[in-house]
């Protein structure tokens, strides 16, 4: 059974940093592109970042809204993907989902950026 | 970015009858390889989105065959035959031809 479990959300002040983690199981992690997608009442579902495979030199892509502030990374030995978020803004508030390409989604972790 | 457009609410349907949900993209999602990169998801209350349909017309694993999807390069329809109570939620279309974008979601309304 494919499982994706996110962790690391919480409350952070504007300008602060947070790192989200996602541990995968039930499939060969190193064979799949991984994404972070977020959801908020204001913006709905918004793709955030993608990381490809070792054979793609772990190429990364970002939404314009987070480029330069967020960094996606992966550790295939731990079946894990991460999202380092810096210089956080109120509009980054939402539920962050780890997704396997386009099919499986985790249950999400909530980030609140507020003073 | 490719913009995905959906109505906020479906036409109200009675349980046991069929429902249709539409989605439009700002650019054709048909790749030169013949695949149309259109996806449908259902987000049930309190849950994360779950994949229903991939590449426009392929049923995801475990999804009942009451669900089907069709379309052209830019206009798509998700059909649910014999709507059941468990089908309640918000339906999202999404594209993966380019960096992913999602529609705003259509809430299935039950009479």
Q: Which of A81, A113, A73, A68 is nearest to A94 (CA)?
A: A113
Q: What tens digit of pLDDT does each residue of A82-110 get?
A: 999 999 999 999 999 999 998 999 999 99
Inform me whether the C-beta atom of residue B99 falls under 8 Å from chain A C-beta atoms.
Answer: yes
Q: Which of B51, B35, B31 is nearest to B94 (CA)?
A: B51
Inform me whether the C-beta atom of residue B59 falls under 8 Å from chain A C-beta atoms.
Answer: no
Is pLDDT above 90 for B14? yes
Q: What tens digit of pLDDT does each residue of B62-111 get?
A: 999 999 999 999 999 999 999 999 999 999 999 999 999 999 999 999 99
Pairing of β A94-100 and β A34-40: antiparallel
Write down the pLDDT at residue A110: 98
Backbone φ and ψ for A102, nearest 5 degrees, come out as -115, 0
Inform me whether the C-beta atom of residue B105 falls under 8 Å from chain A C-beta atoms.
Answer: yes
Looking at beta carbons, which residues of chain B come within 8 Å of A45? Answer: 49, 92, 94, 102, 105
Rounded to a whole number of angstroms, the CA Rg of chain A reads 13
Q: Residue A13 in 3-state DSSP?
A: coil
Interface probe, candidates A38, A45, A66, chain B, greatest B C-beta count within 10 A:
A45
User: Which residues in B18-37 are b (16+ Cβ under 10 Å) and which e?
Assistant: ebebbbbbeeebbeeeeebb
Number of Cβ atoms within 10 Å of the Cβ of A7: 13
Q: What tens digit of pLDDT does each residue of B26-73 get?
A: 999 999 999 999 999 999 999 999 999 999 999 999 999 999 999 999
Q: How confident is the model at residue B22 (pLDDT cuts 50, 70, 90)?
A: very high
Pairing of β B4-5 and β A44-51: unpaired
Looking at beta carbons, which residues of chain A come within 8 Å of B47? Answer: 107
| Contact call for residues A112 and A16 (beta carbons, < 8 A) | no
Q: What tens digit of pLDDT does each residue of A15-64 get?
A: 999 999 999 999 999 999 999 999 999 999 999 999 999 999 999 999 99
Write down the pLDDT at residue A102: 84
């Amino acid at each position: 059974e494919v499982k994706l479990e996110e962790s690391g959300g919480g409350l952070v002040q504007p300008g602060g940093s947070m790192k989200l983690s996602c541990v995968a199981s039930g499939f060969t992690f190193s064979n799949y592109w991984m994404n972070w997608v977020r959801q908020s009442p204001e913006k709905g579902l918004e793709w955030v970042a993608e990381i490809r495979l070792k054979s793609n030199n772990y190429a990364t892509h970002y939404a314009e809204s987070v480029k330069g502030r967020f960094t996606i990374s992966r550790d295939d030995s731990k079946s894990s993907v991460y999202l380092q978020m810096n210089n956080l803004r109120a509009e980054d508030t939402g539920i962050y989902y780890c997704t396997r390409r386009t099919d499986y989604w985790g249950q999400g972790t909530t980030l609140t950026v507020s003073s | 970015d490719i913009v995905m457009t959906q109505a906020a609410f479906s036409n109200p349907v009675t349980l046991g009858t069929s429902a249709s949900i539409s989605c439009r993209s700002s650019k054709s999602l048909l790749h030169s390889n013949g695949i149309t990169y259109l996806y449908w998801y259902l987000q049930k209350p309190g849950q994360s989105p779950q994949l229903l349909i991939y590449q426009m017309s392929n049923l995801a694993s475990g999804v009942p065959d009451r669900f089907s999807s069709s379309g052209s390069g830019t206009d798509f329809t998700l059909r649910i035959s014999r709507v059941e109570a468990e089908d309640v939620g918000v339906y999202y279309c999404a594209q993966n031809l380019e960096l992913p974008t999602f529609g705003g979601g259509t809430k299935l309304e039950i009479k």
